[in-house]
Amino acid sequence: MDKNGSRILTDSHGLDLTGEVKKKKEFSGLPDSVILRALNESRDDVKEARALLRKYFGVFLTNRVLHKSGKKLDVHISSKKRDYEEFYGEIFSGIRDAKSIVDLGCGVNGFSYEFLPRGVSYVGVEAAGQLVDQMNIFFKDNDFDGRAICGDLFDLDLVRGILEKAKCPRVVFLFQVVDALENMERNFSLKLIGEIMKNCEVLVLSVPLVSLGGGKKFAVKRKWLMDFLVENYNVLRDFEMFGERILVVQKK
Ligand X SMILES: C[S@@+](CC[C@H](N)C(=O)[O-])C[C@H]1O[C@@H](n2cnc3c(N)ncnc32)[C@H](O)[C@@H]1O
Q: Which is nearer to ligand X, 74 or 97 (CB)?
A: 74
> Taking a C-beta distance cutoff of 8 angstroms, is the pair 249, 229 a contact?
yes
Q: Which is nearer to ligand X, 9 or 181 (CB)?
A: 181
Give least dist CB 173 to ligand X, A.
7
What's 114's DSSP letter? G
Counting contacts by CB under 6 A, is residue 177 touching ligand X?
yes
Which of 60, 87, 138, 139 touches ligand X by CB under 6 A?
60
CA-only gyration radius of the chain, Å:
18
Please report, as residue ranges, which positions from 197 to 236 form the binding site for ligand X (by CB under 6 A).
Answer: none
Q: For residues 203 and 212, what is the distance between their CA atoms, to the nearest angstrom?
A: 25
Counting contacts by CB under 6 A, is residue 146 touching ligand X?
no
Give least dist CB 55 to ligand X, A.
11
Per DSSP, the three-state class of 20 is helix
Which of 172, 175, 197, 202 touches ligand X by CB under 6 A?
175
Please report, as residue ranges, which positions from 107 to 126 form the binding site for ligand X (by CB under 6 A).
Answer: 107, 109, 126
Residue 199, C-beta contacts closer than 8 angstroms, at least 6 positions apart? 160, 163, 164, 170
Counting contacts by CB under 6 A, is residue 176 touching ligand X?
yes
Segment holding 142, helix H or strand E: helix 129-142
Q: How many residues sit in the footprint of ligand X (CB under 6 A)?
A: 20
> What ranges make up the beta strands (E) of 130-252?
146-150, 170-175, 202-208, 233-241, 244-251
Q: Closest by alpha carbon to 109, among 161, 155, 162, 177?
A: 177
Counting contacts by CB under 6 A, is residue 79 touching ligand X?
yes
Which of 105, 110, 129, 146 touches ligand X by CB under 6 A?
105
Q: Which amino acid is at 189?
A: S
Counting contacts by CB under 6 A, is residue 92 touching ligand X?
no
Counting contacts by CB under 6 A, is residue 32 touching ligand X?
no
Give whole-number Cα distances, 47 to 52, 192, 244, in Å: 9, 29, 34
Q: Residues interacting with ligand X, by CB under 6 A?
A: 34, 57, 60, 76, 78-79, 105-107, 109, 126-128, 152-154, 175-177, 180
